[in-house]
Amino acid sequence: MKVTQHIQNANGKPLFSFEILPPLKGQNIQSIFDSIDPLMEFNPPFIDVTYHREEYEFKELPSGLLQKKIVKKRPGTVGICAGVQNKYNVDAIPHILCGGFTKEDTENLLIDLDFLGIDNVVALRGDALKTETYFHPEKEGNEYATDLVLQISNLNNGIYLDEDLKNSAQTNFCIGVAGYPEKHMEAPSLDSDIHFLKQKIKNGAEYIITQMFFDNKKFFDFVDKCRASGITIPIIPGLKPIATKKQLNLIPHRFSVEMPDDLIMAVVKAKDNDAVKQIGIEWCTQQSKELVAAGIPVLHYYSMGRAENIKAIAKEVF
């Protein structure tokens, strides 16, 4: 079932969803099931599965030349989606990236997902590699998420890369895209960011999931700006409870988001990470309750493979 249908069928009741990471290479799918099992009591209608693009390592050869080696540290997004749908009978939503894929790679991936009965995808540009200052698209790949959304939308209309195909089957993906309440780190302004978000919607996006935020006012202001610009599709807030002192510096740097002073000082004064984890749970619980009171249709949690703190929050909210 499509995410938009889940929202319609909820009749105003808030829905709980979360995102998982593929396990590191060498681990099996049971580690994924172990992180999902504790959260199933809250009846998530869908679970997102991230995709991690290939990284590169360089090895110096005896000749002095550098050999580039592809390192895939978190494979398995498609297989995990199939496993999750089969085991839990919920919709699994794979993230699809521009980075690391040619357009033909993307088309073949989408065909496989369609064969598996997967109804939803999230279309993302993806981050720059650690070896890159700025994102560089794959040769013959989609450069921006707007392009990727258009390719998926074309498949939904039976338009494949090979124009000579006759009587081609249409896919029926519900396309989600990312939104940034504090703007994308590379965007010159929030208004320009919303301009390109509207382009994704014009190309076929049907719902938005936001980057994490720790101040609900940032989210409400973002929604107001989107609605004022003519965006009417569902906007789902992405939430993450802070869990370690290290994240106090890592999250703002990595994701270009701000944390409220009250949260910062509470974490700074915490005696250890157990105390930080409890602070994170309490803060995110209050965020969640306020969002539910405001009539937000779905709350989406970035679990990062850890269920304990998300379960503690969900018990208080759903």
For helices 77-88 and 103-115, angle between their N-to-C axes, nearest 10 degrees:
20
Q: Tokens in use for 306?
A: 């850890």
Backbone angles phi, psi at 247, to 5 degrees: -65, -20
The residue to which tokens 């935020």 are assigned: 213
265, 211, 283, 42: CA torsion to nearest 10 = -160
User: Beta strands 120-124 and 55-60: pairing type?
Assistant: unpaired
Please give the pLDDT value at position 27: 78
Kind plus residue range of the DSSP H or E element containing 295:
none
CA 147 to chain centre: 18
Q: For the chain, which domains are there?
A: 3-317 (3.20.20.220)
Contact 210, 279 (CB under 8 A): no
CA 313 to chain centre: 20
From first to last of its 318 residues, the chain has per-residue pLDDT tens of: 999 999 999 988 899 999 998 887 767 889 899 999 999 999 999 999 998 655 545 555 666 565 555 555 556 789 999 999 999 999 999 999 988 789 999 999 999 999 999 999 999 987 655 555 555 667 888 889 999 999 999 999 999 999 888 888 999 999 999 999 999 888 899 999 999 999 999 999 999 999 999 999 999 999 999 999 999 999 999 999 999 999 999 999 889 999 999 999 999 999 999 999 999 999 999 999 999 999 999 999 998 878 999 999 999 999
The residue to which tokens 């088309």 are assigned: 107
Contact 19, 303 (CB under 8 A): yes
Nearest to 54 by CA among 145, 126, 144: 126
Using CA atoms, how far apart are residues 306 and 272, in angstroms rounded to an integer? 18
Kind plus residue range of the DSSP H or E element containing 277:
helix 273-293
Contact 161, 108 (CB under 8 A): no
Looking at this protein, which amino acid is placed at residue 224? D
| Number of DSSP helices (H) and strands (E) in the chain, helices first | 11, 10
Contact 238, 300 (CB under 8 A): yes
Kind plus residue range of the DSSP H or E element containing 114:
helix 103-115
